[in-house]
Chain A
């Protein structure tokens, strides 16, 4: 494939990038945060004070 064609292909592909990666990463980190808070609120805090 010639360099110009490769560049044109890349440019077309990168119109959307990084929207998909952002969506995936945000979804993953969002789930992590939700999971962390579920444990925090449902398991950790109810187990009581300790110091």
Chain B
């Protein structure tokens, strides 16, 4: 590793510090919404906290983790130094400045707009500029990933790009496509309004532009976990990747189908028609396919490992797997949470069924479970796995890592399962306090407290995670280099160009986006709906 070591450490630390702070805020938010009296609680502090929690978890933890892990994969899987490391550092500082700018603005109470922005509510321009800087930093990362892969291909003509890098670049390409939506919303609508240049906003247009980004962004977060599943977990389990080709296909399917589905976040909106809602629901059904494929492919890869270790029978191989290894344990726990979270997602996307759950705690449960659970537990495990090679030290205690991972798993289920139930009962979202004197709401109280207990477990686990990383600095034992990346059962000597690059897929994405989003966006310029007045949240009254 030439440049990646410091870059990866720097990025991951920023992400994890933001994560730890956001955890504290999250628990306080849950306390506020429970029947138990919480300190410092006002509407302003609550909604500023929600904005900070969402911004930190959805924009900072994720982007910095993905960028840092990407640099690591680029150097280790391609066995070459990163191109233009100076640009990587420029991107890092851009992201840090943006984060600090956004955080200061939120904590000064001038950006209680939530991480989903919600125009015509408009906050201080410095919040949005902060987010823009983080996105700009990530765009630099995307270019560096694409360039790194391109350089390797020129130096290795005809050879398949290592799967970990192929997947990383698929993610980068997808990110470039998906950020176009939120970038357009910010650049043409929200920031001009925040600067006082526009007094009205077309809200239907802004919601539709944001929805363009809103689904693929979660796959941006998810793909590093899948990179670990395909390229690191089979090795950690002592087995082989069942099929390298299916791995490539999975990441290609994510690239294509995660983008033209954003309107499934607008199923209850009046500004889009049933026709396009149904079309995007059908496409959403397709984006579930690569996940269903992954369950099988990784299952088969783990089955190989389990049987090599003596496991017999239809399910005996599961018990034979090396569960004492943290990456293996995290994968098992992640898949359990994927089952629950995937179930919630299937309900959400089911067209008319969305009416049962939209803007209830069911939705909150779903994304905390699928992202906070399935994905973030893998972020922990990836960090634990690469920290020895980053720091040159051996892991001080695998038992501590395993305990932390179990605590996260249990906490996540205890927190989110009651939320699913409360959502079906009608508990709605983005509320600072509930009136527990109302009999319908009073019945929810005990479950809200159960959920809070889950949140506290998560806080303990999250802080334990940071502690476990800090322990690497204290230990003396040197790291013994080991093979990181898995080998496929049949490592391909060649792969078709379509599974080694993205030219064809970019064309397909463009076609699908025109089909799925062309009219839904164009309609705002055709019917020209009346604009809504800007409502500032950042002015002292």
Q: Which of A24, A36, A50 contacts B299 (CB 8 A)?
A: A24
Chain A interface residue count, Cβ-Cβ cutoff 8 angstroms: 27
Query: Chain B 332-343, CB within 8 Å of chain A: the 1/0 string?
Result: 000000010011
Q: A10 CA to B355 CA in the complex, in Å? A: 50
Query: Chain A 8-21, CB within 8 Å of chain B: the 1/0 string?
Result: 01101110111111
**Docked-complex contact A21 and B356, CB < 8 angstroms:** no
Q: Which of A18, A24, A35, A44 contacts B353 (CB 8 A)?
A: A44
B460 at the interface (CB under 8 A from A): no
**Docked-complex contact A21 and B296, CB < 8 angstroms:** yes
**Segment with Cβ contacts to A, from B189-197, B211-219, B300-308, B392-400:** B300-308
What's the nearest-Cβ distance from chain A to residue B351, in Å? 11
Contacts of A16 in B (CB 8 A): 303, 307, 317
> Which chain B residues numbered 342 to 361 have a C-beta less than 8 Å away from chain A?
342-343, 346-347, 350, 352-353, 355-356
Q: Which of A13, A28, A39, A50 contacts B295 (CB 8 A)?
A: A28
Q: Which of B302, B304, B350, B489 has the most CB of A within 10 A?
A: B304
What's the nearest-Cβ distance from chain B to residue A49, in Å? 10
Instruction: Known contacts A17-B303, A20-B317, A24-B299; decide if A10 and B489 are in contact (CB<8 Å).
Output: yes
Q: Which of B308, B347, B352 contacts A13 (CB 8 A)?
A: B308
Instruction: Known contacts A10-B308, A17-B304; decide if A23 and B295 are in contact (CB<8 Å).
Output: no
**Docked-complex contact A28 and B339, CB < 8 angstroms:** yes
**Docked-complex contact A17 and B347, CB < 8 angstroms:** no
Instruction: Known contacts A32-B343, A35-B343, A44-B356; decide if A18 and B315 are in contact (CB<8 Å).
Output: no
Contacts of A44 in B (CB 8 A): 352-353, 356
**Docked-complex contact A18 and B489, CB < 8 angstroms:** no
Q: Which of A18, A20, A22, A24 has the most CB of B within 10 A?
A: A20
What's the nearest-Cβ distance from chain B to residue A17, in Å? 5
**Docked-complex contact B304 and A47, CB < 8 angstroms:** no
B242 at the interface (CB under 8 A from A): yes
Contacts of B313 in A (CB 8 A): 20
B282 at the interface (CB under 8 A from A): no
A49: nearest chain-B partner, CB-CB: B352
> Which chain B residues numbered 280 to 321 have a C-beta less than 8 Å away from chain A?
292, 295-296, 299-300, 302-304, 306-308, 313-315, 317-318
Q: Give the B-binding residues of A (Cβ under 8 A).
A: 9-10, 12-14, 16-25, 28-29, 31-32, 35-36, 39-40, 43-44, 47, 50
Given contacts A44-B352, A50-B352, 8 further A-B contacts (CB under 8 A): A16-B303, A21-B296, A24-B299, A28-B295, A35-B343, A39-B347, A43-B424, A44-B353
Q: Top 4 nearest A-B pairs by Cβ distance?
A: A21-B299, A13-B307, A21-B300, A18-B300
